[in-house]
Amino acid sequence: TSLFANVEQAPRDPILGLNEQFNADARTTKVNLGVGVYFNDEGRIPLLKAVRNAEVARLEAASARGYLPIDGITGYNQAVQKLLFTESSPLIAEKRLVTAQALGGTGALKIGADYLKRLLPNAKVAISDPSWENHRALFENAGFEVVNYSYYNAATHGIDPEGMLASLNSYPAGTIVVLHACCHNPTGVDLSAEQWAKVVDVIKARGLVPFLDIAYQGFGDGIDADAFAVRQFAASGLSFLVSSSFSKSFSLYGERVGALTIVTANSDETGKVLSQLKRVIRTNYSNPPTHGGTVVATILNTPTLRLEWEDELAEMRDRIRAMRTALVEKLKARGVQRDFSFVLAQRGMFSYSGLTSAQVDALREKHGVYAIGTGRICVAALNNQNIDAVVDAIADVLK
Ligand code: PLP
């Protein structure tokens, strides 16, 4: 018999499955709010001008394509550290940071997970309830048991702060806690400064291991405001991990640009941890690709490109927020009784809309408006051309 005769079909990715269904839908009025990608007002994934300019410079330099170091481009890794912690951070001066260029945020999480499995073989991993759909699978694949901590309160469309702290308080020392640093995916609901302070305190008191995932820095309130949690943990003196993704903030989804940063207690630890992390990378994919990392490093380290990028990032952030406002106002103007103002308090690309799975089905079947069954919509896929159709569709399914 064939080697693969008994292989079972793996379940298909629910979001990619929804995309296939969307593509096959013949209705010209269809709208895809199921994706996790920023679209501009013309409904296209933008190629940022800063990226284009850095790419032109790179092509003109006609550089050779040798292997990068295992941990990637030094100038890139340093720029990542400054973005997370600021240029004047004592963590940089004290050499308490290990940063490795990684294959997007997912790649950063994966090398972090593999490294933690060697360091803490018996630890459990706690992720938010709900969380990005790949967190659980990724950490389980790295060999961890994954549990959920309370996070979202559907009744208030907000955080369940007591539930979250109770979950954290129930974990044994050494439990790895994955936290969305900003722009929580899928809910759009972030902790307040006071809530972060309490979370940091509990994590410190219980000896938990924070792993911050920052995939939307600059999409919420700005580059520095969105790094608030990262900087709170830095100020706490704890050791922790951070995975950065630049897929969204540079609109470089397919180039796989991200980084893993590990905060250690001192420079001696830094050297040793880096040597171990390099082993993990070497046996996974040897070293990262050149293009995306070079482009991002060039932008971050060249003042004119940096300003251009910050403007473009602000434009994306402002457009999403304008769409949040438009959605809420238009639903109200359309006579929808339900109060959707909670959408304004949410941050980043996503919104837990509060629509039920049956309402999401009706949106899709009757109106060609595609959302995730949990009610998650991608606000960054709304634009001035499609928003009225979406508002009409939501008003109809709420009738
Ligand atoms: N972490 C979170 C919370 C995300 O939402 C995403 C992307 O959707 C990622 C990580 C992965 O980012 P990347 O596409 O760079 O691998």
My answer on whether omega of the bond before 186 falls inside 30° of 0, hence cis, is: yes
Residue of the CA atom closest to atom 8 of ligand 1: 36
What pLDDT score was predicted for residue 14? 79
Residue 376 has a pLDDT of 96
Task: Choose one of 179, 180, 247 to mutate for the ligand 1 pocket test, by most ligand atoms within 8 angstroms of C-beta.
Answer: 247
* 180 within ligand 1 shell (Cβ under 6 A): yes
Q: Does the beta carbon of 211 lie inside 6 Å of ligand 1? A: no
Q: What is the pLDDT of residue 170?
A: 98
pTM across the whole model: 0.97
Mutation to probe ligand 1, out of 134, 136, 241, 347 (largest number of atoms < 8 A from CB):
134
| Distance in angstroms (rounded) separating the CA atoms of residues 57 and 255 | 17
Cis peptide before 288 (omega within 30 of 0): no
What pLDDT score was predicted for residue 16? 82
3-state secondary structure of 174: coil
Query: Environment class of residue 8 by beta-carbon count within 10 Å: exposed (0-12), middle (13-18) or buried (19+)?
Result: exposed
Can you spell out the DSSP letters for 204-270? HHHT-EEEEEES-TTTSS-TTGGGHHHHHHHHHT--EEEEEE-TTTTT-GGG-EEEEEEE-SSHHHH
Specify whether the CB–CB gap between 141 and 175 falls below 8 A. Answer: no
The protein residue whose alpha carbon is closest to atom 4 in ligand 1 is 215
Q: Specify the residue for token string 């979202």.
A: 152
Residue among 19, 79, 12, 14 nearest 370 (CA): 19
Q: Whose CA is nearest to atom 6 of ligand 1?
A: 215
Binding site membership of 36 for ligand 1 (Cβ less than 6 Å)? yes
| Positions of the chain with pLDDT under 70 | none
User: Catalytic residues, which ones?
Assistant: 132, 213, 248
The tokens 């991002």 sit on which residue?
296
CA of 24 to the centre of ligand 1 (A): 26
Residue 13: predicted pLDDT: 82
Residue of minimum CA distance from atom 10 in ligand 1: 105
pLDDT digits (tens, 9 = 90+) for 223-241: 999 999 999 999 999 999 9
**8-state DSSP, 69:** P
**Residues comprising the chain, all counted:** 399
pLDDT, tens digit (0-9, with 9 covering 90-100), for 58-69: 999 999 999 999
The 10 Å Cβ neighbour count of residue 106 is: 19
Return all residues near 394 (Cβ < 8 A) that are at least 6 apart.
331, 336, 353, 355, 363, 369
**Is the CB of residue 217 below 6 angstroms from any atom belonging to ligand 1?**
no
The predicted complex's ipTM stands at: 0.99
Do the Cβ atoms of 139 and 132 come closer than 8 Å? Answer: no
pLDDT reported for residue 87:
97
**Number of separate helices (H) and strands (E) present in the chain:** 15, 13
Q: For atom 1 of ligand 1, which residue has the closest CA?
A: 215
pLDDT in tens, 330-378: 999 999 999 999 999 999 999 999 999 999 999 999 999 999 999 999 9
Angle, helices 161-169/193-206, rounded to nearest 10 degrees:
10
| Cβ count within 10 A of residue 194 | 9
Q: At 221, list the tokens.
A: 């309130």
What residues does 60 pair with on adjacent strands?
A: none
Q: How many whole angstroms separate alpha carbon 106 and alpha carbon 182?
A: 16
